[in-house]
Structure 1
């Protein structure tokens, strides 16, 4: 063993040394290569800077010195005449921003320069004899391009460059005229500014001019002193001149700090790599040693596992193994046979097969819990803990089997958990189903809403459930061992119980309704079912009694029976019971030749009270009315509430006098005040009476005729009674026919409007029209508005008809306005029902906007009674209408409810004097006084007045004398159709 260890150590040393040497050689080579590449990269960057500078300088010189070509062209064009030079130079100079001076030198002597101010010293300068410039000037004579010379100290001060071009008037170059010069000041050149930036970028520079004679460099610009070691040299060709730029980094081409740092890292890397290789070799040797040990122990473990598997197979249970790391499940053939499967059907003992071999077979309701429990055991269980769980798995036949799964994670030699678990599956379906049945029975017994009482064969109580305690009030301890007789109420006699037990003995069970007594002494009804329990010897072992408290059922049954025949609000009989009792009373009256009266009663204006004060007040009012009516009834009478505010009273053996007498007592009784919610209310009633046998011999006939008579009473002024007559039947029939026809009047285009002119008394001029509704029916002919408008109000059609009137009248007014008669107004009547509509304001506003007529040209006429129904709402609504610009008039003023306290609060425009006052105005002093009072009151309130029904000139004159503002009537014109009204307008205006 020591020899083996020495051999291993020698191997590690040799390999490690070899790795270090090779790694060091490669690393140092890489460092040297990187240093060389860094220097080359830096040289390329510096060369690029030099090239960019050369290009910029060449471009700037080329651009600025091109002025010499322009001057030469000028001289040749002028054939050597320079008199226009200043003008030409003034035009040319702004195009060259860095040019200091433009000059002409005929025969080499400068005679003209621009600008003269700063360059006057150049005049008369002889270039050809100038010691510094003569050589360059002479050299330029033989070139046909601009010659760049300098830099020189300029006559005008500073250092500069001169671009010269020899000018020959003869193309053959034989006639030399002289020189044109372009002077550039070095300080003004933009490209030279780049040199300063280069020094800021860490570069030393030197810019020189190569002397054309000896090619020696002449310094132009230089950075701060420094060592120019291996500089980058850039030649710059500027015309016939050649400049040279030298660039070198201030810190030199190499970076010694970086180089030595990289070299140190390379050596450190080699050392670490050698150490890593040594560690890997050592690890590999150790691994081989461990593998040998593991193989030895695995063989022993395999032998033990085989022995354990033999035990499990012999126990007729399915066993399994699970490898944690690969999520791999292995099941024995018995594991799958337990569920009716063949092992070959599954990817058994394959990696990641847990889902296919276990999870996929779990019952959906158990899957989450089963998986969580298994994972919890694998991850968090103690080393010696046992895994156990129950769940359902799908059998091959589609059924579900309850499985008891038990297992354990294997431990290593140190007592720590390994990555392998083993266990078994046992089919416990039969046991589980038995447990579930027992649990279900126990829950049924305890949670049943029915009471359960079980006795032995001797009728001693052995078990009761919770429902028994709730129903009877007795706890289990109070009744166990006792006879159920203790619960008897005494309502059933001995014969009842004898028959009950006889039935149980014969049939094995009995059920029925029985009364028992609670612990507190109260009796209650229950539905009881008693059954025998027979043991294996066909003997009665127990009796089971199931019972439920049916007190609520009894109460509900009584309530349903009551609701089927009585009104829940007033406790009066309802329609169903009324019909039944009336039919019985009619049979009795027929057999005994007795009369019978039916009174149909309807409360007047109840709907208004109900809507304004609320349904709670309305309901209480109905209750009090019913109580008052009961006081008038005999025992044999039937008082009924049909619904809403309608009551019916049937009086057996009562003639017309008796019915009238009762009605006369009833009306003042109902009229007495009602005190509700700290309010005093008064209410009247209209009563219709139908008599048997004259008005009908069946309930429905009497009811129909009493209803007709009741409406007649309402039309006659309310708070009265009326007997049915044959004339009423005819009137009612006509009303029904008219009502049905009226429902189709709009769609059949039977309605129309006529327009009655209205005149102003200020200038006796036509100012507008009132729209009046007409209905012509093919069968009924022209139906009076006094007849069909009340019908429309009663059945709710007035809203749709009223909206049609508004739209049609506004369209007609818009047509007259488009024809040029924009001074005309339109008066439109609103019914009281229409006035109560919540959407009235919005509808009128939309209709006016759609028609396009000004709101100020529209007048809405509203009756006093409509305003008086809900005065506060009326005040608010009229104010909103007035705010929209509409005019508001009270129609038929003086004929309805008038209250000056409310009148002054209404935002009115006009009062309309009813024609009933105008008709006898000339003969009746009271009518005249009323009209005069209305006009004076309107004037004092700032309102206008209009009189309707004016038929004579005398009426007109008197009304005008009294101060009436406007009039309408047959004196001016009857109501006209639209076409007739249009012709009337043309004649009047």
Structure 2
């Protein structure tokens, strides 16, 4: 608090005005003279104001009393007031105001001294420095801050020419600015310059000079300066960070980015030489540096010693540099320390770089110094920043590689994908033209792969694809390309082929890759259809070769699968015709070009017509009538068999209603694709309800072995059997359906012996017993037997002698239209 005592001089001075203040300096009462001294109107109010800025003085330690205050007037002017404080009751204070100019001696010397000391302390406390130079640049006077910032003693500055401390590269600029300032009084100039401190390091200062040579109170060039070294370093570091992040964003090569980081570190640590060592697992170390003196071998060796491989697999809780202040004396380095010293490196520090994702070390930044060196706090900051940048660059690089793998490699098998195959095939064709070689392309498709997925599950299917891809990879040369084209399709690209024999040997190796069973389902044998094409000349393109290999593969499928087909123009013509047929068949469904005829089924015991088989035909607008065998394979492979089968069932149920007499059993054939539709059983049930037909009057003939359709097909057949629909094994004796007799689902009630088998076996004493054996086995299993394609009375007699149940064929009737069903029944 202010002192209640006052000097004798103070007590003899008569106050001109009085202001009563509370303990916080706020005015409580005042007289008109006080308002006059403060330059205020007589009716002005000072309530709760602190017009004399006494709040700090009242609450602080005892100071001079009276004191002098420079107060601002409302008119913009300023005036000194003499203020004497007198304590009152209740903590209040009376401020006695008077004009110091009324005092005989004017303002006292002690006040001037106090003001001067106050100003000096302020100048010494601020970060800016004030220096007065003569007209040649020599120092006349300066604040003490110059000593604390640059480290020189006060005695150093006496008459020191400032130009002696400036960086050589800044001398010309400084001389030009100094000349500009000294050209005329009041001239001013500002700039940034580098000045050497007491340690020999360069500090960056921001200075402004004003010409006050003609001012009698100054008599020199007034220079105010501020040390901006830290700010400039930070700015340069931020700019460097931005440049490096732009390299990363632009997708620059990782080595280039890491070298830029090493260069940034070198620019911030003075004499150090920097390198970045990348230590990926199972990969040799990679070094990126500025190309300076730091040898790569030493950087790699230091990385191995300071950041051993065992540590690279452990998470690092925080990145701290490993310091070697003196190479030769560091026991951890051993012989490497001596080698460093012989190479001229006295010390180093090394910062580990850890992944922000895994927390594991994957690189290090190492700085080598020629002399003993302990890193500063700023170097530590630079090292941490550089480590973050290296981590970003490496993770960007590894993310890019992962994206490239996703873009160009199949995720399941690790093989090249379709995109990479197309690229390599383009290059292979180009090289073949240039060097006169040939390119072989082999398109492979696993046969009946859908059955594996449906019966054993997709996981087993994936295992087959992975194992098959690996077998193919091991069957070709390292320079050849094995690609998964999609699904269960694979392509092998072989360059530098000189003859057909070489192609044959490669194809043979690929086929042999399927000789061994796959390690799923207790051991599974898989076959493949292979299409092969070899480039012939300059007209071949990548797209053409790929198309032709695909065409040959589909030809292999058509020829019965598990075979190799070499492409020729005939194969292409067949494929074009097939594609055209598929397109026309799609339109035929919409145009009503399809029709049904019915093959009567006779009971061989009674001779009565007991059923009919629906046979689809196509009234082609150009080719005339086509039987089912000419287009059903196309329908099945294209998926048209599903809508076609639905149409056949609906139309046939409607037609048999016109036959009259007792209901006829209706037989329709269904393909594996139809049987694999999840809603098949429901659709069949709805169709029977729509026409009021009992399920027992419908027979579904299975066009393939019942296992081909997978679990969905088996489930559908089981549901149909539960509904009462009869199931028939079709084309028995053709080979593919023979096993189905023993492996059929519940509900198989009929075996249909194929016309081909019947014609080959009947009429010969050596083979006819085979037909009898089929009939006997079927009867033993509780099944009826239908002989298809009966052509003669002799065949009919043999079948009746064997107790065959049913028969179809020209011996009874050719297929007839729906309108003829009634008359056929009447004849039999």
Taking the aligned partners of 1:756 and 1:455, their CA distance within structure 2 comes to 102
| Contact 1:756/1:968 (8 A) holds in 2 | yes
User: Residue 745 of structure 1: SS of its match in structure 2?
Assistant: helix
Corresponding residue for residue 177 of structure 2: none
Q: CA deviation at 1:313?
A: 8.3
User: Residue 758 of structure 1: SS of its match in structure 2?
Assistant: strand
Change (3 A) 1:494 1:842: closer
1:679 has 2:476 as partner: no
Which one of 735, 759, 763 corresponds to residue 919 of structure 1? 759
Q: CA deviation at 1:763?
A: 1.5
Corresponding residue for residue 564 of structure 1: 407
Q: CA deviation at 1:693?
A: 1.2
Taking the aligned partners of 1:813 and 1:485, their CA distance within structure 2 comes to 101
Change (3 A) 1:970 1:596: same
1:894 has 2:733 as partner: yes
Corresponding residue for residue 90 of structure 1: none
Taking the aligned partners of 2:556 and 2:47, their CA distance within structure 1 comes to 104
Taking the aligned partners of 1:850 and 1:874, their CA distance within structure 2 comes to 24
Corresponding residue for residue 830 of structure 1: 670
Aligned pairs, how many? Answer: 494
Taking the aligned partners of 1:485 and 1:460, their CA distance within structure 2 comes to 18
1:616 has 2:459 as partner: yes
| Contact 2:701/2:729 (8 A) holds in 1 | yes
Taking the aligned partners of 2:617 and 2:433, their CA distance within structure 1 comes to 50
Taking the aligned partners of 1:653 and 1:938, their CA distance within structure 2 comes to 58
Question: Could you say what the CA RMSD is over the residues aligned between the two structures, in angstroms?
Answer: 3.8
User: Residue 591 of structure 2: SS of its match in structure 1?
Assistant: coil
**What are the residue-to-residue correspondences of 1:33-432 with 2, within 5 Å?**
none
Corresponding residue for residue 658 of structure 1: 502
Taking the aligned partners of 1:312 and 1:934, their CA distance within structure 2 comes to 127
| Contact 2:707/2:714 (8 A) holds in 1 | no
Taking the aligned partners of 2:799 and 2:385, their CA distance within structure 1 comes to 98
1:813 has 2:656 as partner: yes
Corresponding residue for residue 937 of structure 1: 777
Q: CA deviation at 1:726?
A: 1.7
Which one of 456, 473, 476 corresponds to residue 230 of structure 2? 456
Q: CA deviation at 1:315?
A: 6.3
Q: CA deviation at 1:524?
A: 4.6
1:723-761 residue CA offsets vs partner (Å, 9 max, x unmatched): 112211211111010011111221110111100111112
| Contact 1:672/1:682 (8 A) holds in 2 | yes
Corresponding residue for residue 595 of structure 1: 438
Change (3 A) 1:557 1:878: closer
Q: CA deviation at 1:312?
A: 10
| Contact 1:517/1:523 (8 A) holds in 2 | no
1:768 has 2:611 as partner: yes
| Contact 1:706/1:724 (8 A) holds in 2 | yes
Which one of 699, 702, 706 corresponds to residue 867 of structure 1? 706
Change (3 A) 1:694 1:821: farther
Q: CA deviation at 1:667?
A: 0.9
Corresponding residue for residue 631 of structure 1: 474
Corresponding residue for residue 517 of structure 1: 351
User: Residue 868 of structure 1: SS of its match in structure 2?
Assistant: coil
Corresponding residue for residue 849 of structure 1: 689
User: Residue 681 of structure 1: SS of its match in structure 2?
Assistant: coil
Taking the aligned partners of 2:398 and 2:773, their CA distance within structure 1 comes to 69
Taking the aligned partners of 1:823 and 1:523, their CA distance within structure 2 comes to 81
Q: CA deviation at 1:932?
A: 0.5
Corresponding residue for residue 751 of structure 1: 594
Change (3 A) 1:941 1:833: same
User: Residue 686 of structure 1: SS of its match in structure 2?
Assistant: strand
Taking the aligned partners of 1:455 and 1:836, their CA distance within structure 2 comes to 78
Taking the aligned partners of 2:406 and 2:683, their CA distance within structure 1 comes to 44
Q: Which has the larger radius of gyration?
A: 1
Q: CA deviation at 1:525?
A: 9.2
- TM-score for both structures, normalised by structure 2: 0.54
Taking the aligned partners of 1:755 and 1:615, their CA distance within structure 2 comes to 41
User: Residue 578 of structure 2: SS of its match in structure 1?
Assistant: helix
Taking the aligned partners of 2:631 and 2:505, their CA distance within structure 1 comes to 35
| Contact 1:911/1:944 (8 A) holds in 2 | yes
| Contact 2:678/2:712 (8 A) holds in 1 | no
1:782 has 2:636 as partner: no
| Contact 2:532/2:553 (8 A) holds in 1 | yes
Which one of 424, 428, 431 corresponds to residue 585 of structure 1? 428
User: Residue 482 of structure 2: SS of its match in structure 1?
Assistant: strand
Taking the aligned partners of 1:752 and 1:460, their CA distance within structure 2 comes to 86
1:899-956 residue CA offsets vs partner (Å, 9 max, x unmatched): 4884476322211111112224443345422211111112222221111101111111
| Contact 1:910/1:943 (8 A) holds in 2 | yes
Q: CA deviation at 1:696?
A: 5.8
Change (3 A) 1:486 1:873: same
User: Residue 679 of structure 1: SS of its match in structure 2?
Assistant: coil
| Contact 2:476/2:506 (8 A) holds in 1 | no
Q: CA deviation at 1:486?
A: 8.8
Corresponding residue for residue 727 of structure 1: 570
Change (3 A) 1:559 1:871: closer
1:708 has 2:551 as partner: yes
| Contact 2:444/2:491 (8 A) holds in 1 | yes
Which one of 270, 275, 290 corresponds to residue 493 of structure 1? 290
| Contact 1:565/1:574 (8 A) holds in 2 | yes
Change (3 A) 1:562 1:889: closer
1:878 has 2:722 as partner: no
1:270-327 residue CA offsets vs partner (Å, 9 max, x unmatched): xxxxxxxxxxxxxxxxxxxxxxxxxxxxxxxxxxxx99xx9898769xxxxxxxxxxx
Taking the aligned partners of 2:635 and 2:547, their CA distance within structure 1 comes to 21
Ranges in structure 2 where 5+ consecutive residues have no aligned partner: 1-27, 30-43, 51-227, 242-264, 277-287, 295-348, 355-359, 366-380
User: Residue 721 of structure 2: SS of its match in structure 1?
Assistant: helix
| Contact 1:597/1:652 (8 A) holds in 2 | yes
Corresponding residue for residue 971 of structure 1: 811
1:669 has 2:503 as partner: no
Taking the aligned partners of 2:269 and 2:690, their CA distance within structure 1 comes to 89
| Contact 2:353/2:363 (8 A) holds in 1 | no
Which one of 416, 420, 423 corresponds to residue 573 of structure 1? 416
Q: If each structure's helix is expressed as a fraction of its own residues, which one has the higher value?
A: 1
Change (3 A) 1:680 1:487: farther
Q: CA deviation at 1:966?
A: 1.1
Taking the aligned partners of 1:802 and 1:901, their CA distance within structure 2 comes to 24
1:988 has 2:762 as partner: no
Taking the aligned partners of 1:653 and 1:898, their CA distance within structure 2 comes to 47
| Contact 1:516/1:524 (8 A) holds in 2 | no
Taking the aligned partners of 1:802 and 1:695, their CA distance within structure 2 comes to 47
Change (3 A) 1:627 1:937: same
Taking the aligned partners of 2:529 and 2:538, their CA distance within structure 1 comes to 19
| Contact 1:573/1:641 (8 A) holds in 2 | yes
Q: CA deviation at 1:458?
A: 9.4
| Contact 2:656/2:818 (8 A) holds in 1 | no
Ranges in structure 1 where 5+ consecutive residues have no aligned partner: 1-305, 317-453, 468-478, 498-514, 527-541
| Contact 2:531/2:549 (8 A) holds in 1 | yes
Taking the aligned partners of 1:685 and 1:958, their CA distance within structure 2 comes to 42
